[in-house]
Amino acid sequence: MANRFDSSFDFRGTVSALRSAGIAAVVAIVVMVAGCQTVTRVDAGHVGVKIKLAGSERGIQDMEVKVGWIIFNPVTEQVIMFPTSVQNVVWAASPHEGRAIDESLTFSSNEGVNVNADIGLSFHIEPSLAPKLYGRFRQNDLSILANGYVRNTVREAFQDVASKLPVQEIYGAGKSKMLGEVASKCRDVLNKDGFVIDQLTINGALRLPQNVADAINRAMEATQNAIQSENRVRQVRAEAEQAIAQANGAAEAARRKAQGDGDALLIRARSEAKANEIIRLSMSASILQYRAMERWDGKLPTYNAGGNLPLLTFDASKLAGGMDEATRERRLKELLAEEKSLADERPDGATDARDRRDAGAAAP
């Protein structure tokens, strides 16, 4: 009986010990699980938004954590991860770009012509506005936000801007201006929600109805032809003006040459006339008789009718043009003094050959 009692007592102790060990194990597991869930890490390129699920401060806390570890109570708090790196989306008609459906945007010009385009968008989230963004949309999947709210905003901006422009301007030189205005409108709407627009592009050519595209192409071709014709007219006009300028230059050169030749001839004539005048005034009857005697070879005429030998005589009154001797000498001195003054004004201070010849002829 005693052995049976002792055996029963041992069984109960063992059961109690096992029960205590099991409770301790469960508590340890709960503590470990709870400890693992109260700490999370925010990776680079993300922000963590902490949300209170209970209490008087329920909702999104006005805070953001860029990187690092976050400690929170999994029973009363939740941490939402938000990517802050640049996101790229493409809304295209081709199934090989973006998603495999036609996501291209269509908008209308002020004439009501539909324009279809493939649009590319690059954006990122402002970390400080991530709590506000999640509070409004309750969504942290940026692809869902981009293909929903953001796409609708971009489409409305294209429609608003394009409706004020003619289709020819949208299709031509005004496309860049239109795109800039659309991007500005998108920033005004999206920035306050935390979306930062990095780049908005039109990928490829705009798609128009075929008849409209043909008409625009013909108009652009006509404009190009007109510009080319105008350029040819300008070229011909420039060549004609150049030819006229060359002809005027040649004529002016010839005129100046003729004038120079005439002036040189006139100067030479005046110089010769002056030299002749000096020579004429330098001649006197005695000088001429002396020169004649100097050149006589001493031979007398072979036949002489008799009488005195003929002598070479000169009428001195005719040599100086009727001047008397005093007037002739005074005029000769004036001309010689004038020539000397001109010779002194020359850079080399020397007379030329003609001056030396004239001076020799004037010497008695």
pLDDT score, position 359:
45
Task: Give pLDDT tens digits for 233-247.
Answer: 888 888 888 888 888
CATH superfamily of 84-208: Band 7 domain (3.30.479.30)
Residue 340 and residue 350 in contact, taking contact as beta carbons nearer than 8 Å: no
pLDDT score, position 257:
87
Structural domain boundaries in the chain? 1-37, 84-208, 235-295+312-362
pLDDT score, position 356:
47
The count of other CB atoms within 10 Å of the CB of residue 89 is 20
pLDDT score, position 233:
86
pLDDT score, position 56:
56
Using CA atoms, how far residue 148 sits from 143, 145, 198, 260, in Å, is 8, 5, 18, 90
pTM, to two decimals: 0.53
> What pLDDT tens digit does each residue of the chain (364 aa) get?
445 444 444 566 666 766 777 777 766 666 565 555 577 777 778 888 877 776 555 666 656 666 677 777 677 777 888 888 899 999 999 888 878 888 999 999 998 889 999 999 999 999 888 888 888 888 888 899 999 999 999 999 999 999 999 988 888 888 999 999 999 999 999 999 999 999 999 998 888 888 877 777 777 777 778 888 888 888 888 888 888 888 888 888 888 888 888 888 888 887 777 777 777 766 666 666 666 667 766 666 665 555 555 555 555 555 555 666 677 778 778 777 877 777 777 665 444 544 444 444 444 4
d(CA 134, CA 125): 11
pLDDT score, position 306:
57
Question: Which residues, in sequence order, are CB contacts of 119 under 8 Å at separation 6+?
Answer: 90, 91, 92, 104, 105, 154, 158, 200, 201, 202, 203
Q: At residue 297, what are phi and psi to the nearest 5 degrees?
A: -90, 5
Question: Which residues, in sequence order, are CB contacts of 20 under 8 Å at separation 6+?
Answer: none
